[in-house]
Amino acid sequence: MRAWLLFLILAAPAMAEEITLSDTCPPSFQMLVDGTCELVTLYQFYDSPPQHGGLRARLDPPARRYTPQQIDLGRYLFFDPILSDGGDLSCASCHDPAQGFSDGKKRGIGAVELDRSTPTLWNVGFAQSLMWDGRTETLEAQALLPLLNPDEMAATVEGVETALNAAPGYVALFQIAFGAAPNIANTVIALAAFQSSLISLNSRYDRYAHGDATALNPQEIRGMNAFRGFVARCSQCHIPPLFTDFELAVVGAPADERGFADPGAGALSDDPARLGAFKTPTLRNITRTAPYFHAGQFDTLKGVVDFYNNTAGHAAPKGQDLRIHWHVHMTNGPKLSTATVADIIAFLAALEDENLMPERPAVLPSEPRP
């Protein structure tokens, strides 16, 4: 194998360069003495207990850290359909970087059409709860779910390991990143490593939070004030700076376009309070990921804000006995004016930041070599 690589390096230097793993941390990460990359943001300049929100809440970098090589290997794997059973779906097929790491669809399409939409991956490294129903807590454990789900990538552990060990480029790359041959355990670590590098914390909103009063225009400031105020109460669950609290919440979402009323976390629990509960999604880059809600029930952000603003306060399907979250189930609804609704939507657009967009690999390690 090594001799073959050497041949490649001598014969085709350009090709060899393409399958080298980066030895530097991604932008906004610093390398620690243990060789892992740690995120740096201005939010670590502030002092508050870990779970606090507010404009200048402290946000510590995620505790799980990875080496530059693991992150870069994860990038190749993320874009590589070799992971799916049919060899036709990569993580990026649904989590498309050009569509906010989602897919623009109401519900994701794997091997078949799914019940829920594809969540964004921006800032997913901070998540303490993953999947729409919060069923898992680490990116490593999460990666196995779509990978092995027969309705999604439909792979098997054996199939993934066999394919990666047989692929021309991967064995050497796994050796560099892990000192071991590809296996399912280090594959999901690499995928987690890459996803942890998807950081969006430098939007115009963030500049405002860090003290640049000019970073938001007057309409966006009005929208922010409504967003954090106690009539709309958006920020009570979409808590800055991550714009989520990672909690499960029952908001009384309407049934999906097929009339299916998804029980959400209720399917995993006997607790009646869990019925219809879904994880609060982040609002970072929310303009990129329409349609919205767990089954794309709303095509636009205006649809979403109107949903929370209407006088019913929710749209729970008839017959579902839901315990609606107290911030949602207001007797009369917030009754925000049309202008205020527009202000909130304008503010949400100020959360756009895709500066740290990773590069899509030009060549994949699984592709045949000349």
* Greatest extent of the chain over all pairs of C-alpha atoms, in Å: 73
One of 4, 20, 27, 156 touching other proteins (CB under 8 A): 27
The answer to whether residue 104 forms part of the interface with other proteins (CB under 8 A) is no
Listed in sequence order, the residues at least 6 apart from 244 whose beta carbon sits closer than 8 Å to its beta carbon are 237, 238, 279, 280, 281, 282, 283
> Residue 63: how many CB atoms within 10 A of its CB?
7
One of 211, 217, 299, 360 touching other proteins (CB under 8 A): 211
The answer to whether residue 369 forms part of the interface with other proteins (CB under 8 A) is no
The answer to whether residue 333 forms part of the interface with other proteins (CB under 8 A) is no
One of 57, 193, 290, 304 touching other proteins (CB under 8 A): 57
d(CA 126, CA 139): 10
The answer to whether residue 75 forms part of the interface with other proteins (CB under 8 A) is no
Of the pair 15, 324, the CB lying nearest other proteins is at: 324
One of 29, 66, 205, 308 touching other proteins (CB under 8 A): 29
The answer to whether residue 218 forms part of the interface with other proteins (CB under 8 A) is no
For the bound state, the minimum distance from the C-beta of residue 239 to other proteins, rounded and expressed in Å, comes to 7
Question: Which residues, numbered 254-273, are part of the site for other proteins (CB under 8 A)?
Answer: 271, 273
**Contact window for other proteins (CB under 8 A) among 42-50, 103-111, 163-171, 255-263:** 42-50
d(CA 147, CA 121): 16
The answer to whether residue 274 forms part of the interface with other proteins (CB under 8 A) is yes
One of 226, 344, 345, 346 touching other proteins (CB under 8 A): 226
The answer to whether residue 28 forms part of the interface with other proteins (CB under 8 A) is yes
The answer to whether residue 133 forms part of the interface with other proteins (CB under 8 A) is no
Of the pair 80, 133, the CB lying nearest other proteins is at: 133
One of 9, 55, 176, 315 touching other proteins (CB under 8 A): 55
One of 2, 14, 34, 47 touching other proteins (CB under 8 A): 47
Burial class of residue 17 in the structure, from the number of CB atoms within 10 Å of its CB (0-12 exposed, 13-18 middle, 19+ buried): exposed
Burial 76-108 (b: 16+ CB within 10 A, else e): bbbbbbbbbbeeebbbbbbbbbebbbbbebbbb
The answer to whether residue 45 forms part of the interface with other proteins (CB under 8 A) is yes
For the bound state, the minimum distance from the C-beta of residue 127 to other proteins, rounded and expressed in Å, comes to 13
One of 4, 7, 260, 326 touching other proteins (CB under 8 A): 326
The closest of 34, 37, 61, 56 to 46, measured between CA atoms, is: 56
One of 71, 198, 232, 346 touching other proteins (CB under 8 A): 232
Q: Helices (H), strands (E): how many in the chain? A: 12, 4
Residues forming a β-bridge with 102:
96
The answer to whether residue 248 forms part of the interface with other proteins (CB under 8 A) is yes
**Contact window for other proteins (CB under 8 A) among 37-45, 97-105, 161-169, 187-195:** 37-45
Phi, psi of 107 (to 5 degrees): -130, 145
Of the pair 137, 306, the CB lying nearest other proteins is at: 137
The answer to whether residue 212 forms part of the interface with other proteins (CB under 8 A) is yes
The answer to whether residue 87 forms part of the interface with other proteins (CB under 8 A) is no
Number of residues this chain uses to bind other proteins (CB under 8 A): 59
Q: Which residues bind other proteins (CB under 8 A)?
A: 27-30, 40-42, 44-49, 51-57, 202, 207-213, 215, 221, 225-226, 228-233, 235, 239, 245-249, 271, 273-274, 313, 323-326, 329-331, 353, 355-356
